[in-house]
């Protein structure tokens, strides 16, 4: 099955860091933009960050700008999300998915993973 596999989540204290990995299983990353999303109970899935397929342009939701960095390593078929200065509000299940370009809507993304849990304690 074609999907992403997310990993790297865990429990950290406020101000800590985590690096999430998004591995493409069964397909090649090169031609896709990749987005990171997060979801908490009672909320719709929120777009966190996105990286372009060829131009390496990056996008972030306002609440994570300056703290999170998205990157890609195509040879490893993996996209990363470095998360620094974590806050309790960052607690969520984090997902990644692929799309043609970062300007497309969330419901156009494909190959969703199972998610990885990030918990930030206060």
- pLDDT one-digit tens code per residue, 21-57: 999 998 899 889 999 999 998 999 999 999 999 878 9
Nearest to 13 by CA among 116, 122, 90: 122
Nearest to 31 by CA among 10, 3, 61, 51: 51
Q: What pLDDT, on a 0 to 100 scale, did the predictor assign at position 1?
A: 76
Nearest to 50 by CA among 67, 66, 26, 32: 32
- pLDDT one-digit tens code per residue, 85-116: 999 999 999 999 999 999 999 999 999 999 99
Rg of the Cα atoms in the chain: 13
Residue 108 backbone phi and psi in degrees, to 5? -95, -5
Query: Rounded distance, CA 33 to CA 28, Å?
Result: 11
Query: Rounded distance, CA 24 to CA 4, Å?
Result: 5
Q: What pLDDT, on a 0 to 100 scale, did the predictor assign at position 91?
A: 98
Contact call for residues 9 and 34 (beta carbons, < 8 A): no
């Amino acid at each position: 099955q074609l999907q992403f596999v997310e990993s790297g989540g865990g429990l950290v204290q406020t101000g800590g860091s985590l690096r999430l990995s998004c591995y493409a299983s069964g397909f090649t990353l090169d031609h896709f933009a990749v987005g990171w999303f997060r979801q908490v109970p009672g909320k719709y899935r929120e777009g966190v960050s996105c990286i372009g397929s060829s131009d390496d342009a990056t996008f972030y939701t306002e609440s994570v700008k300056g703290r999170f960095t998205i990157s890609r390593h195509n040879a490893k078929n993996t996209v990363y999300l470095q998360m620094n200065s974590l806050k309790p509000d960052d607690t969520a299940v984090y997902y990644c998915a692929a799309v043609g370009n970062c300007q497309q809507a969330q419901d156009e993304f494909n190959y969703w993973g199972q998610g990885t849990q990030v918990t930030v304690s206060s």
